[in-house]
A = this chain, B = another copy of it.
């Protein structure tokens, strides 16, 4: 058989019982004849505990020393997990990130993997052992410990799968996959059996709570396909079925769906600039200033055509995150001083509802179907933007969930996907 890389997050190893559960799942995989390499995060609250300890001593810890401190969390995990496997008769060995061959740049607390020297891992696999690797960490050229930043364990697993040319990469957490929408908001949301990198990136950008974006970007870059699974699901040898969501480069041919998921983002604000002169360079001036101030502008709509005081006027509306609102207003205020008679208004009672799907742009009528669903529910659309694989509508915040459900139902997402196991 081949090599399987599994990754378990901190919540999967939060206590002794969970360690045992993870160990049984790993041992089962090995019994299938696979070479198993496991990447594990720090247990439960360990990282927060360490941050608190540092916080008692300094308000501005050096990034290098934080990496020395925080990397102990995963080191505790790998030792305990290896012991637990040995206890149930499964040969195992733990390796820290540096021991496992992870080499990175020297950007402490946000290092990038430059290379993985997999010799030691392969040697241990050849000796029949499960290899437990500390995620999130590596060594820079100077021999200093680095960390990849929070959530970096997913990136560790994906990079390892690439360097080992693994047959499978499985990311375990406390969710069993990617859903057509947030099940807390849309009760009929269904787990997808597969989703493309681009779809998952767009869903996240559209406000969906999906896994670490950076890991998906990383997977896309390395061409590593992986599966998102739940570590809480019954073990395959205890009546469970190993099923999650595969994150792939391109959907399988049989997956000819147009829309993969719908998402809502309530943390947005709309800013409207009224009565701007309708001439070249005005929009550039506004968004140039916003860009310089590092305000992330999302939807943009310019409505031209009115005439005031004898010259053509235009309104520009855009959205940004709530966090950026104050800064954006300040920047716009500054720009508007040049244009007398203009007006600045904003609105935080808005939300963005989006549909995402690989074939959104190439299928006629998708946008129309979405608008129809919203209209049937009495939801007014305030702004619209679209990309190759996404269409977003800004609606009243109070209507956001209704809008989300209506669109989800209209595209029959609850039916098109694999039913949720155990529900």
Chain A residues in the interface with B (C-beta under 8 A): 16, 19-20, 50, 53-54, 56-62, 64-66, 68-69, 71-72, 75-76, 78-80, 82-84, 86-87, 93-94, 96, 99, 120, 143-145
Contacts and interface: CB of A to CB of B under 8 A. Distances in A.
Count of this chain's copies in the oligomeric assembly: 2
Contacts of A96: 68, 145
18 contacts: A19-B57, A20-B57, A50-B76, A58-B83, A59-B87, A61-B86, A65-B82, A65-B83, A65-B86, A66-B79, A68-B94, A68-B96, A69-B75, A69-B79, A71-B75, A72-B76, A72-B79, A75-B75
What are the 3 A-B residue pairs with the smallest beta carbon separation, nearest first? A69-B79, A72-B72, A58-B87
B69 A57 contact: no
Contacts of A65: 79, 82-83, 86, 94
A83 B56 contact: no
Nearest to A72: B72
Contacts of A61: 83, 86
A271 to B, nearest CB: 41
A76 B82 contact: no
A99 B99 CA distance: 12
A84 B58 contact: yes
A319 B176 CA distance: 66
B99 A57 contact: no
B78 A68 contact: yes
A57 B16 contact: yes
Contacts of A71: 75
Contacts of A82: 62, 65, 68
Contacts of A76: 50, 53, 69, 72
Nearest to A76: B72
Contacts of A94: 65, 68
- The A interface is mostly helix, strand or loop, or mixed, namely helix
A136 to B, nearest CB: 14
A88 to B, nearest CB: 9
A23 to B, nearest CB: 9
A69 B58 CA distance: 26
Contacts of A20: 57
B75 A68 contact: yes
A146 to B, nearest CB: 13
A175 to B, nearest CB: 26
A62 B75 contact: no
Contacts of A59: 87
A80 B54 contact: yes
Nearest to A87: B58
A102 to B, nearest CB: 13
A130 to B, nearest CB: 13
A123 to B, nearest CB: 10
A185 to B, nearest CB: 38
A58 B72 contact: no
A306 B261 CA distance: 101
Nearest to A56: B16
A80 B99 contact: no
Nearest to A23: B57
Nearest to A92: B65
A112 to B, nearest CB: 21
A79 B147 CA distance: 14
Given A57-B80, A120-B143, A86 B62 contact: yes
Given A20-B57, A57-B19, A68-B75, A62 B50 contact: no
A64 B86 CA distance: 12
